[in-house]
Amino acid sequence: MLIRTADPSTAVPVTMDGAKGVSMQVMVGQSDEAPNFAMRHFVVVSGGHTPHHSHPYEHEVYIVEGELEAECGGVTKTVRAGDTMYVPSKAVHQFRNTSESQARFLCMVPIASDCGQQVPGS
């Protein structure tokens, strides 16, 4: 029975170009033999942000703690704990923590993208 607890202290820093102050923990993923999609838990420190980028697969995001500026497809809105945001495939997007507190969110991705390639971090 696979139970895993979100633990910011064991999250791994995201070293992707454009990421700052972001760390990730895979909650359920390929290594758990999840066949279709993966769940990752992200921590963004105050002043941190995810890369400003796009890719050929979607995100489903749920904000667990704090608030973030969320940019998607040229629109920017504030999302807070309890909000879900959908990032369609190929949309340029970024999450920025402009607050003074830590923010945390879940980000789900498919295991494979359109072309059958493994999705990074899944």
CB of 24 to a copy of itself, least distance (A): 14
- For residue 51, state whether it binds a copy of itself (rule: CB under 8 A): no
* 110 in contact with a copy of itself (CB under 8 A): yes
How far apart (Å, rounded) are the C-alpha atoms in residues 14 and 25? 10
Q: Is 27 left (phi over 0), alpha (psi -120 to 50) or beta?
A: alpha
The residue whose two tokens read 């279709």 is 36
d(Cα 117, Cα 120) in Å, to the nearest integer?
Answer: 9
Tell which one of 24, 44, 72, 103 touches a copy of itself (CB under 8 A).
72
Q: Which is nearer to a copy of itself, 52 or 60 (CB)?
A: 60
What is the dihedral angle through the alpha carbons of 32, 34, 37, 43, rounded to the nearest 10 degrees?
A: -20
Binding mask 7-26 for a copy of itself (x = CB under 8 A): --------------------
Q: How far is the CB of 80 from a copy of itself (least distance, A)?
A: 8
Q: Which residue among 18, 47, 77, 98 contacts a copy of itself (CB under 8 A)?
A: 77
